[in-house]
Structure formats: structure tokens, C-alpha cells
Structure 1
């Protein structure tokens, strides 16, 4: 054999955030932690987790957040069994920022003596080309490699913009949400680091503490505002680590040519569900339903149907439809670009387009639940919270409906509280 690389081990850390975030994800986050909301029929966090499975010599996956442990216990044990990789949920006592969260659990993360540490944000949707990133990272020989993507210049300001050397891919400059246009390359929130990252975070953390102590002596007001907003252990990866290390031959970039989106709102989750369904064509085609034409429903494009769901053979589904456990879809129903959650009943000849139908909802005969399908507009996708009852022949257009409502008259462009 000669030289072996048995000493190479990787661990992955996925940041799942916590209940203070996700307010933009209401009313869907009222029922379930956002990272467990199903996209393409799988919990949101499942997509980065299953991508981690492709990392060579992966020994452990950690989910870091400040949800209660019991909210993740069931999922973590089932996914560990399914992937045969240990997945552990680590609860932060409070938000520490992405770098601070990593640092907070450094002893656990370093327990397996990893040569590489992946850090992923749960609320991004992409194809997570992790093995390819690792290869590039080893070639570069730096401390960290950042996944980047080219976006249209007019949207770049919403993200971390960066400039990299065209030949070496070294990160030269990094600004988080800049006031003026810097670059059309943005940070995807997916990284691979060597363990040196902990030394870097420790250095920054010490500086931040010193700064806080200086403030403490200088003025009571400054102390109040500074400490109340951010604890000294709060270290942001982007502003506190990436910006200062840019241009020091420490950080490099790897560009994805695939898709990338941030999942901040229910509207975006519908778009991302479709992106993941189309990715399944390549990664897990067995998850997609094929219409066999005779005794099953008509299927167009990418459709996921949970094995326990019942779909009438005269229904017509797709593209971009996912149907969760125990849903019932009646005769003549038409579904386009929608997420149907657990225990939903859709009665005969109803139509659902550009919508998310919450758990235990019921949609009556000949009803229509629809929207324009603009994933960025506030009411561009219709969302029904849990146990909303749409009666027969009612039309719901471009609305958000909070849980447990009954709609017996048609509505449009409304938030129904």
C-alpha cells in the first residue's frame, strides 16, 4: 500500500438555529422546528445530512442549535440508524454566532481527532458538493475553503459578497451585506476547515472580550448597549473571522455551478422543495413517483408521494408536488407546485397550485387553493396553517391562513388571523 491516509477523518457540524429565528417561517414554524419542516418529503436538515454521508472518512455529524433536545431526539436517532453515521444534537444555552457555536463545542468536535471539519447552515438549499470541496481544499492547503456561487449583481447585496483571486481562488476580500456593490460572488454558508479554525476563533474571541472590557471602563451606556445585544462569546464567522483572514493565504473559495437558495420564508421553501425534487433525479430516483399510466395517478415532472398517502388514480399531480404521510387525495384532484403535509384530505375535483397545505387540513370538493407563485412576494404563495378547513366550492387566492380556521367564503390577498 505504501502511504495510507488512514489518519484522515472528517466531522460535520450543521447549524440549525433556534426558536427565536424562524419567525419569518410562520405559520409553519408554529408546529415544528423549521429544520424539520419537510422539503421534497424529507426534513429540511435531512438534505445537508445526507450530503455529508458522501464525505470520505466521515465519523460524526453534529447538529448545533438552541431548540429543546426532545424536538430533535426522534429524528436524530432515526437518521443515525438510516445512514449508519452517528448524528448528535448539541444544544447551545444561547446563540453564539456560527463561529462561536462551533467553538463552544470544540472539545466534542475534536474528540475524534478530525483532520477536517465541515460547517453547514441548515437553511440553505444547494447540492452540497462536499467531496469536491474537500478535494479543492486539500489542493489549496489553506485553513478553510468557502463554497461560493455567482449571483445576479442586483441581488448580491443581500448576502456576504467576496472577491477571490481568479487563478488561485484565494479569498482576498469579504464583506457581509455591503452598502455598495463589491462582487457577484457570494458566500453559500458551507465551509470546510482544518482544526486551526479553533485557534483563529479563540484569537478573535479574546480580542472581542478585551474590547468589551475596554468599553466597560469607558462608559456605562456603551456597556449597556454592547453587552445586552451580544455576549462576548458571540463570534460571527463572516464579520469576525472571514473578513480579517482574507488576503492572508488562509482562506480559499470553491464555486458551485449548481443552484443555491436561502430558505428564509415558506415561499422559498416551496421553491427549494422543487429544487431538491429535481436533484433526487440524480441522487435518489427511488424517492420520485413514476406514473405507470393505468391504475395510478397521472404524474408530470418531479413528484414525491409518501408510501402511506392515498392518491386516487384519476388525480393529476406535478410538477413539483410533495405529499406527506397519510394524506388523502381524491378523484379528479389537480395538484401543481405544492407541498401537502401529513394527514391532509383533498376532496374530489379540488385544485391546489403554488401552495403549502398544513397538517390535518381539509380541502372541500371543487375548491381551489392557489397563488401567483412568486416565491419572494409576501403573499406570492398560499399557505394554510395546521387544521384549516376549506369548505366545498371555496376559492382561496394569495392568502396566509393561520391554524384552525374554517373558510366558508372565498378570499384573496389576505392574511387570515
Structure 2
């Protein structure tokens, strides 16, 4: 089994946090989004992962590439890096990794996380992972036939089609079949919204009678902007706590501080005269003094003093002191 992860976008809605690292490498409860994604896919599939292919922008740099290859290695898989030089859509991105697109493959967009427990339908040519939603008109949804198979894809339907929204994770038994259809999309210059879309390749496979079925997930979590990323961090922490995962490093230094679970606290963190939690993630070597922090996501090597924070997201090597009167705030920064 192979996993292909298109992730060439920087994530402009998460600026300034994505100015130095791409969005999929932002940590949620101590792990980068993309690492959680591929690990969760591997758990659901319950199969050996042979290869993980990451489709990135070439300007992400060698450190990002090294980190991505390490994620594949942790799964016992080969890692491959491909480049998408222009933002020409999902179909174009996937075809940047066409050498990998063969045999059983999962394609997963790297700005979504999920929790699911279902068995992959081995009789299907493809599985499209979906989540039941209350407002299907805001999503791309699947249309089902009388057998419960997927007969069509409808983007933001004005009239009710189904309440099963496509979450951006797809399984193909034969990746080379999708590759052939997407190659035709590119060669024929078939665009929607000015871009080459995976849906046009999927619809071509459906027209040839390929069997598509839904794989229903229990939870679907977005990481598109700051608000939903902080909320996703809280949900992941609660899932991890329910699974009895160890979330607090043994190297944390606690001095007159209270921790209200669930919280993730990384290596070498210092907590002094503070209350932390619930639903807070703190990256390695961060210092928090004389502060109250709840429902927040703080990355590595940050310094937080004299603060009362909730629903906050603070980046790497950032310094925040609630007593500051002179500040220098860069592009895309927000203080509420």
C-alpha cells in the first residue's frame, strides 16, 4: 500500500504560523499534522505501508524534506519527495507523483485529520472517505445508488443529494487507472475553476463502471485556519486522553504550577506559578511563568509570561509578556 500526500500549499489562512514552516508540519498535540494523518491512515488500513510520497513546493527547503522522509521511515516505509511548481489543482498535484501512482494507493490531503474504525472494502475499486454533516450544501458530497455505491460527486449542491461530505481521502485499488484518467484530463486541458481536479478523473472511472463505495469516518477535523486548528488540537487531546496515551514529558519542570488535563507538554518545558489547561499543547523547551493558559496551542522554544490566554496559537521562538508596553508585531499577526 502507498500513501500520496499533496501538500504544496503554504497555508495562507494560517499565517503567520506558516511563514516559516508549511501548514502540514505544524504540530497538533506534539505531532505534525501530516504525521498524525499518515499514521491514522495506516491504522485504519491495517496493512504494511510500502511508500509515502509527499508532493511539496520546491522552496520548502531541505529541512522540511528531511522531516517528511523521517515520517515515512517511522512507518517502515520508503519516503519520496515530489515537487508541484504551480498551483494547478488537485489533479495536477497528484500527477506530479505519477511514478508512485500504481497498485493500491491512498491519496490524502494534508490539512485534515480524522478518527475512524472501518474495514476497507476489498471488493471495491475505490473508497472515498466521507463524514455525515448537518449542512451538506457547504461541501462536496457523494451521491449513492440503490446499492449504497457512489454514483456521483456533487460540489456544494443547491438541492439535497446526500449528507455525506467528501473529506479528502481516497483509496484506489489500482492507482494506474486513476493515473491514466488524470493524464487524459491534463492532455485534454479539462479544467474546473481554472484548475485540474481529481474529481474529473474519478468521474471518468465511474463512467467506466468502476465500483466506488463510501468509507464513513466518525470524526473529521480541519486545520485550515487558526480557530479550527486550536479546536482540532483540543479534540485530539481528548481522544488521546481517552486512549490513555502518555502526554506529559518526564522532563517537564513544575514549580508551583497546576496542570488541568488533557494537556500535551513536550521535552524541557518549564512551568512556574502558572495554571495550564485544559486542552493545551506546549512544544519542547517552552517557558511559561505567572500565566493562565487554556484551550491553546503553543509551539517550541516560546516564552510566555504574565499572560492570561485562551484560544491562543503561539509560534516557535515567540515571546509574549502580558506586561509589555512596547511591541513589534510582524505581518499577519493578530492580538485580540
Relative to the length of structure 1, the TM-score reads 0.69
Q: What is the aligned residue count? A: 329
TM-aligned CA distance change 1:187 to 1:207, over 3 Å: closer
2:114 to 109, 126, 131: 126
- Find the counterpart in structure 1 of residue 282 from structure 2: 323
Superposition map of 1:328-339 within 5 A: 328-331=287-290, 333-339=291-297
Report the Cα distance in structure 2 between the residues aligned to 1:336 and 1:200, rounded to whole angstroms: 45
TM-aligned CA distance change 1:201 to 1:177, over 3 Å: farther
2:156 to 170, 177, 183: 177
Please list every run of at least 4 consecutive aligned residues from structure 1 whose deviation after the TM superposition is greater than 6 angstroms: none
2:13 pairs with 1:24: yes
CA contact (8 A) 1:327 1:343 kept: yes
SS of residue paired to 2:7: strand
Superposition map of 1:3-402 within 5 A: 10-19=1-10, 22-54=11-43, 55-68=46-59, 69-110=61-102, 114=103, 116-127=104-115, 129=117, 132=118, 135-138=119-122, 141-153=123-135, 156-165=136-145, 168-195=147-174, 197-203=175-181, 205-206=183-184, 209-210=187-188, 229-230=194-195, 234=196, 236-238=197-199, 240-246=200-206, 248-256=209-217, 258-282=218-242, 285-288=245-248, 297-312=257-272, 314-331=273-290, 333-348=291-306, 350-364=307-321, 367=322, 391=324, 402=330
CA contact (8 A) 1:335 1:352 kept: yes
TM-aligned CA distance change 1:77 to 1:359, over 3 Å: same
Unaligned runs of 5+ in 1: 1-9, 213-225, 368-389, 413-417
TM superposition shift of 1:122: 0.5
Unaligned runs of 5+ in 2: none
TM superposition shift of 1:271: 0.9
TM-aligned CA distance change 1:229 to 1:146, over 3 Å: closer
CA contact (8 A) 1:245 1:251 kept: no
Relative to the length of structure 2, the TM-score reads 0.85
Report the Cα distance in structure 1 between the residues aligned to 2:80 and 2:182, rounded to whole angstroms: 27
Report the Cα distance in structure 2 between the residues aligned to 1:85 and 1:207, rounded to whole angstroms: 30
TM-aligned CA distance change 1:99 to 1:208, over 3 Å: closer
Report the Cα distance in structure 2 between the residues aligned to 1:193 and 1:96, rounded to whole angstroms: 22
Q: Greater Rg, structure 1 or structure 2?
A: 1
TM-aligned CA distance change 1:80 to 1:144, over 3 Å: closer
CA contact (8 A) 2:112 2:223 kept: yes
Q: Relative contact order: is structure 1 or structure 2 higher (C-alpha 8 Å, sep ≥ 6)?
A: 2
